Structure 1
Amino acid sequence: MTDIVSGGRTYVRFHEDIESPRADEADDIEKIVRVLRANNERAYRVYKRGLRDAHAKGHGILRGTLEVLDELDPELAQGMFAAPGTYSVIARLSSTSGPIRSDQLRGVRGLGIKVIGVSGPRALPDDTARTQDFIMVTHREFLFADAHAYSRSGMWTAWALARLSDPALRLGSEALDALNKHVLPRFGRRLPDNLAVFVQPNTHILGDTFHTSAPLRHGDHIAKMRLIPRSPEVRALAGAPMPPNGEVNAFAESVIDFFACHGAEYELQVQLCTDLAEMPIEDATKEWDAARSPYRTVALLRYPVQDTYTPQRRAFGDEVLSFNSWRGLDAHRPLGSINRLKRRVYDASSQYRHRVNHAPMLEPADESELPI
């Protein structure tokens, strides 16, 4: 099947055999699921309720709309973006940690976007919902190449992070920051990415850029996505530092304060794969060069003024809702080893959390299901 040329660039065409899992991938995934289940069970003993094994702490549950732009180029007008239209959205801001931690600790932040009323063939055959989930984080590339790399390094990191105290993590972060600033540069070195995330300064979450990190299908093509601030109020927050001695729930408080007075607008952008060697599917740590394939806007995400974290919203978003990148159209099916790992991990975590919390598992059919 030939690639597609448009606008002077050649875009790789998706086909069903484009992925190439390792022979031992299923074994690696089973090992990871067991370790993360142990983290789930430990969290239940500590907090007396089930938590997500990642993205446990929410910072706001948002109601909004997603407007698919008109007159997109053919390579962009794919899947749910094939025709202009406006969808209702429920989104959840979070920290990617499994335990509930102080917002003063450095780390990666997350965004789950649930688009409501999306019709078409689903990525999973038993999925009967009409929602499309996109899960994004503030780290552009994933920290581990594939499930095998995660099984060798990542799951032990997850095991340790689930057990270290906040003071221990703060001390470790400060030590890594000093090492990165004052020691490693003398030798022309820098921290590896899986440690560098713990020294990045905390910035206002509403000004952050969020990435899918790993690739996904984009209809006839392969893509990564990102969400960037667009309206002046959130663009002004990009890179704005959070107070270093603020509250343990500083992110939630800053989101509540912002949306009490302002709405916000973001651009949802797509970066199409032009070369499988330079933009691989199975290595999620590899940067996709924006000079070879720039990000291009396909939709606008808008949030109105609202109360983002009422007790009712908090209960619905943190206890009832689940976000899973595999819940959506086959036209936006997640690709690569890390995403195949997430398919098992996300489902196992959600099943456990809802079961021990005696919480219903439901997919909203309308934005009105999100409590005021």
Structure 2
Amino acid sequence: MFSRLWLWLGRLISRIVIVLVALGLAGWAIGALFFHFEHQGPVSADEVIAPTEAADTRAIITDAIAVIEQHRDNTRVLRDAHAKAHGCVRAQVRVRDDIPSSLRHGVFSEPGREWNAWMRLSNGNAYPQFDRINDARGMAIKLLDVPGDKLTRDPRHASEQDFVMFNHPVFFVRDVAEYRSNFAAQAEGKKVLAFLPSLDPRSWELRHLFIALKTLSPAPQSPVATVYSSVAPFKLGPHNIKYRVAPAPEQCPAYQLPEQNRDLPNFLRSALYQQLSLDRVPACFVLQVQQQNTEHYMPIEDTSIEWSETVSAFETIADVQVMAQDFDSPGQNLDCDNLSFNPWHALPEHRPIGGINRLRKAVYESISAYRLERNGVR
């Protein structure tokens, strides 16, 4: 009797599972079709500013200041994101000799031109947690002694050109309004509400939740062993583009990084130190751009959408080399912490575009000024 009951329960449960799987697949297929038909070209090549953007930006700045106060250590106010650096290192950016003439704008206008730069490599979290914890990873590059008027009015950055990237091609919010609600929930420690703000399924951002989960990825072998993307779009002269920096080990001496102890809290810094300072081997990258094709769904104002490489392939316009060097000194680490990176430290030919970049201008400038003032930096 009991055996028959168990067999009956087994058949019932298996049928329920089959039905649920079928419903799930059907829902996924319907959702994929809806997404495909909703997100088709053509798209605008111009920016569109939402009427609530200014108010949303002010609210985000308030929340960001609250976050950095929550995560400050005993002596210093840290960044509201990418608080933990693996190192600030000297680099050189060389414009390709064969750069297409249509892409010769701004700092890339002169083939063969070399720029000295600082590169900051970091974890994404606002708290300096262990490297083995899943997280986003960031790369910021600051070109030095760049002539010409800049978009920023701050004289401290009058000779700089910054590029700010992280290791995922898309962002987990589409625009400033969504970022406000998402960030507010996270600032209050309510991470679930960031993507599921109410019981109404229409308010759920499941696709963006999946993007966030993908962004919080395991640490790479080394900070110089992963691809970094601008996520948001920029101008390159008359073109709308996105940037990408990808490892190019074939341009450097052959090197095999020794196995790192991933249980150490700062093993990514150790990996960088091993290669650059102990083994004296440089790290090489290529800097690439992807042009917007407005006939396809490559929007300016939605940073959760990846621009198709099938439609528009990345083109290499410069080479980046991080030379062998000693970088892990208390003085240089403090200078690194005081560096301010902002995509608006830029020539007009590289103007950031889109809502998330407009948000960055206000937030980065406000947070940087607040942080440096609290840390006694003039």
- TM-score band, normalised by shorter chain: 0.7 to 0.9
Q: CA deviation at 1:295?
A: 0.5
Deviating beyond 4 angstroms after TM superposition, the runs of 4 or more aligned structure 1 residues are 125-128, 233-238, 240-244
8 Å CA contact 2:66, 2:187 repeated in 1: no
Which residue in 2 is equivalent to 1:22?
A: 50
Quote the residue 1:316 is aligned against: 335
Q: Structure 2 counterpart of 1:274, which letter?
A: N
Q: CA offset at residue 310 of structure 1?
A: 1.4
Q: Which residue of 1 aligns with 2:236?
A: 218
Counterpart of 1:70? 97
Task: Output one character per residue of 1:103-161: Cα deviation in whole Å (capped at 9) or x when no partner.
Answer: 11111000110001212232235556111000010011111111111112233224429
The higher radius of gyration belongs to 2
Match of 2:297 among 275, 278, 287: 278
The equivalent of 2:138 in structure 1 is 110
Q: Which amino acid aligns with 1:297?
A: T
Structure 2 residue 274 is matched with structure 1 residue 257 = yes
Greater Cα shift, 69-78 or 25-34: 69-78
What is the aligned counterpart of 1:147 among 143, 168, 176?
Answer: 176
Determine which of 334, 354, 359 is the counterpart of 2:372: 354
Distance 1:141 1:150 in 2: 14
Q: Any idea what SS the aligned residue of 1:88 has?
A: strand
Superposed CA offset, 1:3-60 (max 9, x none): xxxxxxxxx997xxx210111111111111111111122233x433111111110101
Instruction: Identify which range, 126-135 or 347-356, moves more after superposition.
Output: 126-135
The whole-number CA distance in structure 2 between the counterparts of 1:309 and 1:19 is 42
- Match status 1:80 vs 2:97: no
State the distance in 2 between where 1:311 and 1:202 align: 24
Q: Does structure 2 conserve the Cα–Cα contact (< 8 Å) formed by 1:324 and 1:346?
A: yes
Report how far residue 321 of structure 1 moved: 1.0
The residue type equivalent to 1:52 in the other structure is R
Change (3 A) 1:258 1:35: same
* Contact kept in structure 2, 1:123 and 1:332, CA below 8 Å: no
Shift of 1:92: 0.7
Question: 158, 161, 166: which one pairs with 1:137?
Answer: 166
Partner of 1:178: none
TM-score by length of 1: 0.79
Letter in 2 for 1:347: E
CA distance in 1, matches of 2:307, 2:349: 21
Question: What secondary structure is seen at the aligned counterpart in 2 of 1:206?
Answer: coil
Report SS of the residue matched to 1:60: strand
Pairing of 1:222-261 with structure 2 (within 5 A): 222-232=240-250, 243-244=261-262, 246-260=263-277, 261=279
Whichever residue aligns with residue 324 of structure 1, its letter is N
Q: 1:312 to 1:221 in 2, by over 3 A?
A: same
Residue identity opposite 1:359 in structure 2: V
Cα distance in 2 for partners of 1:241, 1:192 equals 30
Residues 287, 316 of structure 2: 8 Å contact kept: yes
Question: Offset of 1:241 from its aligned partner?
Answer: 9.1
1:212 & 1:82 partners in 2: Cα distance?
Answer: 20
User: Quick check: 2:44–2:300 contact (8 Å CA) kept in 1?
Assistant: no
Percent of aligned positions that are identical: 31
Distance 2:351 2:327 in 1: 30
**Which residue type is aligned with residue 155 of structure 1?**
A
Q: How does 1:321-332 map to 2 (within 5 A)?
A: 321-332=339-350
Q: How does 1:23-62 map to 2 (within 5 A)?
A: 23-44=51-72, 46-62=73-89
1:300 alignment partner, one of 319, 331, 338: 319
Residue 345 of structure 1 deviates from its aligned partner by 1.1
Q: 1:159 to 1:109 in 2, by over 3 A?
A: farther
Residue of structure 1 equivalent to 2:126: 98
RMSD between aligned residues: 2.6
TM-score, normalising length from structure 2?
Answer: 0.78
- Number of the residue aligned with 1:203: 220
More helix by share: 2
